[in-house]
Amino acid sequence: MYLNTTIKIPEIKGKIITKKKGTTTYILYQYGSEYRPEKQYSVPLRTIVGKISSSDSTLMIPNEKFQSYFPDVKLPEELPLAYRSCCLKIGSCIIIQKILNEYKLIPMLKKRFGSDTGLILDLVSYLIIEEENAGQYYPDFAFTHPLLTDKMTIYSDSKVSRLLNTISKDQCIGFLDDWNAKRDHKSRVYVSYDSTNKNSEAGDIDIVEFGKAKDDKGFPVFNLSIAMDRTNRIPLFYEEYPGSVTDVSQFTFMVDKVLEYGYKQIGFILDRGYFSKENIRYIDENGYSFIIMCKGCKTLVSSLVLENRGTFEAKREAAIRAYKVYGITTTARLYEDDTAERYFHIYYNPSKQAAERERLEQRIEKLRQFMDRHVGKDEKFGKTYQEYFHLHYSKQGIFLGADERTDVIERELQLCGYFCIITSEKMTASQALIQYKGRDISEKLFQSDKTFIGSKSERVQSSRSMSSKIFIEFVALIVRNRIYNLLKEQMIRMETKQKYMTVPAAIRELEKIEIVRRHGRNYKLDHAVTRTQKLILNSFGFDETDIKKRAEEYGKLLNISQSYISKEAQDNGEEEDD
């Protein structure tokens, strides 16, 4: 990440070299050398620390790595008055600050981060409003929005970069301790736990390793998981761990964290990726309950489906109308030495059955067509082909053709449209499905992380910066998730689906609420609140009077901020720039 500032090129003989690529000239710093015994000479170790300014060849634009090798070089942090717009967007910032106050996040963060709290919260607002996590664009956001920094000071992207390099693991863990201490530990809470992985090409991040990526592009990855209070719809904590560690093996460590945070009556809602004998046993040993999805092709599940097939699919008492499926509950043991009876909730979805049958038929046809093109050739086929077909070869190993394994295909056709949820506690098929579907909130949380706060890529070069950025993104997810829930509740009350009640649409609409500065130095509300904006604001308990009041408060704070910056400019002998 290149910083939005220019500095003098360091003069270190033999250590600073330039390398031109296209129209850009990069500056490389030699930080050491490595002896190669096979070549019997040392190879210099260099890294890019910036690029030469296009306007002045004696100046350079540094990147994040520059600060690691030149910590004594001072980079500008505060930006002058000229960098603040005379038209500021306040609508989204008002609702974000309302949620920060509701969750008491400001004092919670100040306890751990002190004077950096304001900038951290401004970055949280930036992630939510701009759906972007690139630090170099933060000053553009600060230019047009009120801030939570002291005296609404606008900081440069170099300050953002330094902040990411100074946040420690202890501070992040301390905040998570405080955040979870405020949660309800006595009532029954269902925790939805899910994980994702992100590709990375950065070489200086310790936990980036090759693993089983869901979207495998051939790059090393790191894993990120989030525990979500499904009952109260609040993110609880997150974990970052190496890319080679599987979800199944990481799960037990998450259970330990839940214990450490003091949660008592916990039920886990898990995806099929966490299904394993060891995980189920670990949950039992700690006295927790679980709701877990299981693949229909699992031997135990498929046999139960076939046993109950035809007994409930047309019965109205088995209908779960909200999800347009039919369900039945039966009991069985998960494995041979299982000590408890589990509740297997089997579901049939007519529309899902048609789609799955079509996909299966198309898959088998594609396999057949591929094999037909290789008849008469010396060709070997993989496990998938052997699963669905009897393959015939000559004594010389020439492929002669294939016949369908009708018993296997017919069995899969019979299982199309069925799925199963397993619970440790007794409940109806309807209750189990409603609880499991609640984990859609955690799915939307990951969608928010990768899409709606721009974190598909972290855009950092060091482990510490990455951990800091993930922490700020987690705080942003707490706030954004609350916005999502309040808008959803309002839409239910309205009984009509409105396009502007989604988070991105609502934020775009609220961004139109502006305060402007004309002629003088006082910011005032530019125009009345529209009908659509009133409906959105009502979701957060605000009305037009509240907006006018907040606009006046922002105006006063900005006047203080301007006086402060103007005085700084005069003290430095600079002209004021209005």
Domain that residue 380 falls in: 352-415
Q: What is the pLDDT of residues 441-453, one digit of tens each?
A: 555 555 555 554 4
Whether 187 is in a domain gets the answer no
What is the C-alpha separation between 62 and 16, in angstroms, rounded? Answer: 13
Q: Work out the average pLDDT over 147-168.
A: 87
Q: What is the pLDDT of residue 312?
A: 94
- Contacts for 237 with CB less than 8 Å, ≥ 6 apart: 176, 179, 180, 226, 227, 257, 261
Which helix (H) or strand (E) segment holds residue 55: the answer is none
Strands 7-8 and 59-62: antiparallel
Of 286-295, 371-380, 438-447, 564-573, which gets the smallest average pLDDT? 564-573
What is the C-alpha separation between 167 and 172, in angstroms, rounded? Answer: 8
What is the C-alpha separation between 518 and 537, in angstroms, rounded? Answer: 26
Q: What is the pLDDT of residue 56?
A: 83
Phi, psi values for residue 476, rounded to 5°: -65, -35
Give the residue with greater pLDDT, 210 vs 174.
Answer: 174
% of the chain residues with pLDDT over 90: 32
Q: What is the pLDDT of residue 292?
A: 86
Q: Work out the average pLDDT over 384-409.
A: 92
Q: Work out the average pLDDT over 528-538.
A: 91
Nearest residue to 157 via CA among 261, 219, 66:
66
Q: What is the pLDDT of residue 81?
A: 47
Give the residue with greater pLDDT, 186 vs 80.
Answer: 186
DSSP 430-462: HHHHHHHHTTHHHHHHHHIIIIIT-TTS---SS
Whether 330 is in a domain gets the answer no
Q: Work out the average pLDDT over 135-155.
A: 87
Give the residue with greater pLDDT, 211 vs 288.
Answer: 288
**Has residue 481 got a pLDDT over 70?**
yes
Q: Tell me which of 415, 437, 463 is where a domain ends.
A: 415
Tokens (6 digits) for 434: 């409603």
**Has residue 116 got a pLDDT over 90?**
yes
User: Could you give the C-alpha distances from 3 to 20, 61, 62, 139, in angstroms and in order?
Assistant: 19, 6, 6, 11
Of 242-256, 306-320, 502-516, which gets the smallest average pLDDT? 242-256
Whether 48 is in a domain gets the answer yes
Nearest residue to 238 via CA among 249, 220, 221, 250:
250
DSSP state, residue 205: -
**Residue 47: strand pairing partners:** 29
Whether 261 is in a domain gets the answer no
What pLDDT band is residue 12 in, cutting at 50, 70 and 90? confident
What pLDDT band is residue 248 in, cutting at 50, 70 and 90? low
* Angle 200-201-206 from CA coordinates, rounded to 5°: 70
Q: What is the pLDDT of residue 575?
A: 33
Q: Work out the average pLDDT over 2-13.
A: 78
Which helix (H) or strand (E) segment holds residue 166: the answer is helix 157-166
Phi, psi values for residue 425, rounded to 5°: -105, 150
Tokens (6 digits) for 494: 């309205």
Tokens (6 digits) for 139: 């000053």
What is the C-alpha separation between 224 and 470, in angstroms, rounded? Answer: 9
**Has residue 98 got a pLDDT over 90?**
yes
Q: What is the pLDDT of residue 297?
A: 45
Nearest residue to 89 via CA among 143, 30, 28, 47:
143
Q: What is the pLDDT of residues 329-349, one digit of tens each?
A: 999 888 888 888 899 999 999
Q: What is the pLDDT of residue 518?
A: 75
Q: If you search the block for the tokens 């109308």, which residue do you land on?
A: 321
DSSP state, residue 272: G
Q: What is the CA radius of gyration of the chain?
A: 29
Phi, psi values for residue 434, rounded to 5°: -65, -40
- Contacts for 55 with CB less than 8 Å, ≥ 6 apart: none
Whether 565 is in a domain gets the answer no
Whether 571 is in a domain gets the answer no
Q: What is the pLDDT of residue 492?
A: 78
Range from 73-82, 270-279, 511-520 that averages highest in pLDDT: 511-520
**Has residue 103 got a pLDDT over 50?**
yes
Q: What is the pLDDT of residue 485?
A: 86
DSSP state, residue 209: B
Tally of CB atoms within 10 A around 499: 7
- Contacts for 336 with CB less than 8 Å, ≥ 6 apart: none
Q: Do the Cβ atoms of 226 and 445 come closer than 8 Å?
A: yes
Mean model confidence pLDDT for the chain: 81
Q: What is the pLDDT of residues 363-392, one digit of tens each?
A: 999 999 999 999 999 988 989 899 999 999
Whether 364 is in a domain gets the answer yes
Phi, psi values for residue 357, rounded to 5°: -65, -40
Whether 211 is in a domain gets the answer no
Chain centroid, CA 29 distance in Å: 34
* Angle 327-330-333 from CA coordinates, rounded to 5°: 135
Q: What is the pLDDT of residue 212?
A: 55
Strands 289-294 and 266-270: parallel
Give the residue with greater pLDDT, 260 vs 312.
Answer: 312
Q: Tell me which of 368, 387, 415 is where a domain ends.
A: 415
Tokens (6 digits) for 281: 């046993």
**Has residue 201 got a pLDDT over 80?**
no
Number of domains in the chain: 2
Q: Do the Cβ atoms of 75 and 2 come closer than 8 Å?
A: no
Give the residue with greater pLDDT, 443 vs 301.
Answer: 301
> Treating both helix axes as pointing N-terminal to C-terminal, what angle do 544-571 and 91-102 enclose, rounded to 10 degrees?
100
Q: Do the Cβ atoms of 219 and 201 come closer than 8 Å?
A: yes
Work out whether the CA dihedral 109, 112, 117, 122 comes out positive or negative.
negative
Q: Tell me which of 69, 93, 114 is where a domain ends.
A: 69
